Structure 1
Amino acid sequence: MYERFGKRCFDVSVSLFLLLILLPLYPIISLLLLMSSGTPLLFTQIRTGQFNEPFKIIKFRTMKNNKKKVNNPQDAWYEGVPDDFIFKSAHNSEVTKIGAFLRKSSIDEIPQLFNVLRGDMSLIGPRPEVPEITQWYNEKQLNRLLMKPGLTGWAQVNGRADSCHGHKIEHDLFYIKNCSFKLDLKIFILTIVAIWKGKGAY
């Protein structure tokens, strides 16, 4: 019942609240981005949503080049994305100085609240991957697409960007199986703690 009705109410009410209380940050972030690296202020990218449907994710731009390249694997992942695959790296020369701060503090994710309000995403759920990765999902990995992607999730509060793909899949499938208001509230609180510590975010 919660997953079908209550989750959307939670998404809309909390997203609107966060957008309002964070309102003073928008002009400050915009000015910092303009002064440090110019326009565009926002970064958009196609991600894979629920039931394998693509959507456009929105973030504050953190890289010099707005068009982030996603390299395909040298060998096709015919048996699924390898468990030891890690998409992000702590060292990326394309990330600007202000961008590094925005990533560390997760401020770059704020525009995704509009994705949540639009219904593309949920506050809590599996993080949306790029199609270049999800196209190689095996049958088990495809199960993480049964739920709407989230701004944060069980995998993020258990490692954030430090986790390998296999661990993320296991955490996401655990969440999908055990989704509840109590678990969502726990993840929401743990996310605040993780952001405060700044561990595994880059």
Structure 2
Amino acid sequence: MWYRKFGKRALDIILAGLLFLVLSPVFLFLLILLSITHKGDPFFKQPRPGKDERIFNILKFKTMTDSCDESGNLLSDQERLTSLGKFIRKSSLDEIPQLLNVLAGQMSLVGPRPLLVDYLELYNENQRKRHLVLPGVSGWAQINGRNTISWEEKFDFDVWYVENFGLFLDLKILFITFFNVLQGKGVSQTGHVSMGRFEGTRSVKAKISA
């Protein structure tokens, strides 16, 4: 209980602060490089629902251009993803700015990933439990398939985490995340540069074990 009330936030502050300090040279290098390639706008910022469905702006390094077609509509993700962006995504370097979200108390190092605001009206009651905790930079779903699993499986993992998280589980997730990042595992679905949209579901399974 102590970890849920105080320890998790303390761990976030300590580890996120240390990680940001260690990664600050990479952060500054990408900040400058992406500022040049994206005309002064290195960050991808988007409203996402956090704990208790409160909205915040998630920060990531930009991996796509803002190119549009003749009608002013954004081109597909595949067309807008740059070569540099592919490398940044593959290495998960685009996630570094989220350490600032963690330090600001909007996210945790571990928790369900914050998804689109549009999805809020599509969740069933069980799926909504994923918003009972702070969203995470990594999570139980991320180390169990990340973007290669279905939405239903992903929400199963998220809800299981909310109901079972603790210090050792969080440390386990962080440890596995480190090695998954090194291997570039589960970044995207086969044939896609990002996860397909969630269209809603009527039911969710409830069978997951650690």
Task: Report the counterpart of residue 14 of structure 2 in structure 1.
Answer: 13
Task: Report the counterpart of residue 139 of structure 2 in structure 1.
Answer: 153
Do 1:43 and 1:58's aligned partners in 2 also have CA atoms closer than 8 Å? yes
Taking structure 1 as reference, are residues 66 and 190 closer, same or farther at Cα in structure 2, changes over 3 Å only?
Answer: farther
Which SS does the other structure have where 1:196 is aligned? helix
Distance 1:4 1:101 in 2: 38
Counterpart pick for 1:96 among 82, 102, 115:
82
Task: Report the counterpart of residue 193 of structure 2 in structure 1.
Answer: none
Distance 2:116 2:14 in 1: 28
CA RMSD of aligned residues (A): 1.8
Distance 1:39 1:160 in 2: 31
Q: TM-score, normalised by structure 2?
A: 0.81
Task: Report the counterpart of residue 23 of structure 2 in structure 1.
Answer: 22
Deviation at 1:30, TM superposition (A): 2.4
Q: How does 1:42-191 map to 2 (within 5 A)?
A: 42-65=43-66, 92-191=78-177
Deviations along 1:15-66, whole A, 9 cap, x unmatched?
0000100011123212332444433011100001111111100111111029
Segments of structure 2 that go 5 or more residues without pairing to the other structure are 69-75, 189-210
Deviations along 1:97-151, whole A, 9 cap, x unmatched?
1111111111001000010011100000000011111221111111111111001
Instruction: Look up the equivalent residue of 1:106 and give its one-letter code.
Output: S
Distance 1:151 1:177 in 2: 18
Distance 2:134 2:89 in 1: 23
Residue correspondences, number: 180
Do 2:27 and 2:96's aligned partners in 1 also have CA atoms closer than 8 Å? no
Instruction: Look up the equivalent residue of 2:3 and give its one-letter code.
Output: Y
Do 1:36 and 1:98's aligned partners in 2 also have CA atoms closer than 8 Å? no
Deviation at 1:163, TM superposition (A): 1.6
Instruction: Look up the equivalent residue of 1:6 and give its one-letter code.
Output: G
Distance 1:45 1:198 in 2: 24
Task: Report the counterpart of residue 83 of structure 1 in structure 2.
Answer: none
Distance 1:15 1:155 in 2: 20
Distance 2:38 2:102 in 1: 27
